[in-house]
A and B are shown apart, each in its own frame.
Chain A
Amino acid sequence: MTPGEAVGRQGTAPAALRVSGLTFAYPDSRPALRGIDLEIAAGERVAVLGPNGAGKTTLALHLNGVLTPSAGTVEVDGLRLGPRTLREVRRRVGLVFQDPDDQLFMPTVGEDVAFGPANFGVRGGELAERVRAALDAVGMAEHAGRPPSHLSEGQRRRVALATVLACDPLLLVLDEPSANLEPVARRELADVLLGLGRTMLMVTHDLLYALQLCPRSVLVDDGVVVADRPTRDLLADTGLLAGHRLELPWGVQLS
């Protein structure tokens, strides 16, 4: 990606997300991110593609301040992530984790969806309304009183999405949203995501899901951005994909 491209896409309003020079190494000194630059305009849906261990999830955890970079910056809608802005950035960026069992920890679905907004100071009638609206948006309104363990994988994934939607984020970050989903559940989740009309960053190695949901894709490997193109162009470049341990499912070909 050249910086000019991103600026041209963004126009005058501040970018929904601007990541520059993001560098991070895990305590065992293995470098995970080696200078990531990425810019997303409001309303865009962008896929972050890459093989296992490329640093995709590590990148996602930085956008919410769960991990702190050793160098580089994250800006959300013009607000620079730092100790003082941590709370506000967490409100603005909604992170949906890969395993819904990690995200859903309260005894009932309704209480779990209320957890986020309650942390951000929403109370009483407004809180109840947020919970209702978020569960409604993912088609799970009638399950508010059930424990998460009694739901199917697809339902849990949608509830995990609702727990984040209830915080009304500016940017939705999804880590492998299609993992472990049966085809119907996968399609239902795609319908929900497309219907939200929100700015979205989706980390995945499910290339067809990226094609279905995101007009633009960023290929990350070994902690750096390798390519940033329209998804269809990127997926049609078989040489590029093969060079980074990615390939379309058997029998699928994009012209």
Chain B
Amino acid sequence: MGPALYRPGASPVHRLPPQVKIVCAGVAVLCVVATPRDAFWGFGVHAAALGVVWRAAGIGPGWFARRALIELPFVVLAAVMPFTGGGRRVDVLGLSVSVEGSLAGWNILAKGTLGVLVSLTLAATTHSGDLVRGFHRLRAPKLVTTIASLMLRYAEVIAAEAHRMRVARLCRGHDPRFLWQAGATARGVGMLFLRSYERGERVHRAMLARGWTGTMPEPAREPAGAKAWAAGLSPAVTAAVALGVGLCLR
């Protein structure tokens, strides 16, 4: 398991209704992706808007930077492109780089980084349970939200079970560093699958016993007020304005 994505807090960003944050993050990512790659200042505006959100949430750039490492493979790809790209070439610091390749690399780097950071910001300020509630509020299919909330509930149970099984193997001298010992780990995974399957059956029975007929009861829908929508969407609006100006100036 990597570092926790959610950072508990009581900032204005944390307190926004989840559906508002989901819409804001979705719109912001679309704006980032649609921004022309040579509108460099546009990416600056996006980054600045993100910085303001971090400030309001009380979370520093370091927290996001560590979790953004997931993007590293794309960064490597972007770093190679100036050298492998075709077309007109210019000399930079004695190296011959392709103009087209450089712009393509920058495009991947800027949009990828901003996209990852926007998602991380949403995850850092919204608890996973609230995310599911937010999607429900946005009328995502009920089956999807049900499966997501069950997954969130039982991922922890199954992870704890896997951990206990691993500790029990290690206690009996199992050292999974060697390939020929991978068999025990594989059997452990198989056992975990069986256990999870059986648990699924027991959970289903327990749901039936409480009168479940196939549809989940409707959770309360707390509508977000106009104020929350206005405040919550302001970063997305900023990004959209930057996109609009960028497109007009082409």
A-binding segment of B80-88, B181-189, B207-215: B207-215
Interface set, chain A 95-145, CB cutoff 8 A to B: 95, 97, 99, 101-108, 111, 114-116, 118-120
- The reply to whether B202 and A102 contact each other, CB–CB distance below 8 Å, is yes
B230 contacts chain A at the CB level, 8 A cutoff: no
Q: How far is the CA of A166 from the CA of B219 in the complex (A)?
A: 17
B206 interface neighbour in A87, A103, A147, Cβ under 8 Å:
A103
A167 contacts chain B at the CB level, 8 A cutoff: yes
- The reply to whether B211 and A120 contact each other, CB–CB distance below 8 Å, is yes
Q: How far is the CA of A61 from the CA of B206 in the complex (A)?
A: 10
Interface string of A160-184 (1 = CB under 8 A from B): 0001100100000000000000000
B149 interface neighbour in A102, A107, A118, Cβ under 8 Å:
A107
- The reply to whether B206 and A95 contact each other, CB–CB distance below 8 Å, is yes
- The reply to whether B154 and A66 contact each other, CB–CB distance below 8 Å, is no
Range for the number of chain B residues in contact with chain A:
20 to 34
Q: Which residues on A sit within 8 Å (CB–CB) of B132?
A: 107
User: Given contacts A107-B129, A147-B129, are A119 and B202 in contact (CB under 8 A)?
Assistant: no
- The reply to whether B211 and A119 contact each other, CB–CB distance below 8 Å, is yes
A91 contacts chain B at the CB level, 8 A cutoff: yes
- The reply to whether A119 and B129 contact each other, CB–CB distance below 8 Å, is no
B210 interface neighbour in A90, A99, A149, Cβ under 8 Å:
A90
A167 interface neighbour in B207, B210, B218, Cβ under 8 Å:
B210
B211 interface neighbour in A87, A99, A114, Cβ under 8 Å:
A87
Interface string of B193-237 (1 = CB under 8 A from A): 000000100110111111111000111000000000000000000
User: Given contacts A95-B206, A102-B206, A107-B132, are A149 and B153 in contact (CB under 8 A)?
Assistant: yes
Q: Which residues on A sit within 8 Å (CB–CB) of B168?
A: none
- Greatest chain B CB density within 10 A among A90, A102, A114, A115 is at A102
Q: Which residues on B sit within 8 Å (CB–CB) of A64?
A: 208-209
- The reply to whether B129 and A115 contact each other, CB–CB distance below 8 Å, is no
B91 contacts chain A at the CB level, 8 A cutoff: no
B90 contacts chain A at the CB level, 8 A cutoff: no
Q: Which residues on A sit within 8 Å (CB–CB) of B205?
A: 61, 66, 97, 102
**How many A residues touch B, CB cutoff 8 Å?**
31
What's the nearest-Cβ distance from chain B to residue A107, in Å? 4
Q: Which residues on A sit within 8 Å (CB–CB) of B218?
A: 118
What's the nearest-Cβ distance from chain A to residue B125, in Å? 18
- The reply to whether A102 and B199 contact each other, CB–CB distance below 8 Å, is yes
- The reply to whether B212 and A149 contact each other, CB–CB distance below 8 Å, is no
B153 interface neighbour in A106, A114, A116, A167, Cβ under 8 Å:
A106
- The reply to whether B202 and A108 contact each other, CB–CB distance below 8 Å, is no
Interface string of B139-175 (1 = CB under 8 A from A): 0000000000110111011000000000000000000
Q: Which residues on B sit within 8 Å (CB–CB) of A102?
A: 199, 202-203, 205-206
Q: Which residues on A sit within 8 Å (CB–CB) of B202?
A: 97, 99, 102
Taking A101-B157, A105-B153 as given, write out 19 further A-B residue pairs in contact, using a Cβ cutoff of 8 Å, ordered by the A residue number. Answer: A64-B208, A90-B208, A95-B206, A95-B209, A97-B202, A97-B205, A97-B206, A102-B205, A105-B206, A105-B207, A106-B149, A107-B153, A114-B217, A115-B217, A118-B218, A119-B210, A147-B129, A148-B153, A164-B210
Question: 27 A-B contacts, Cβ less than 8 Å apart?
Answer: A64-B209, A90-B209, A97-B202, A99-B202, A101-B199, A102-B199, A102-B202, A105-B150, A105-B203, A105-B206, A105-B207, A106-B153, A107-B132, A107-B149, A107-B153, A108-B129, A114-B217, A115-B210, A115-B217, A116-B210, A116-B211, A119-B210, A119-B212, A119-B217, A147-B153, A164-B210, A167-B210
Nearest first, the 3 closest Cβ-Cβ pairs linking A and B are A118-B217, A119-B211, A116-B210
Q: Footprint of A on B, CB under 8 Å?
A: 129, 132, 149-150, 152-154, 156-157, 199, 202-203, 205-213, 217-219
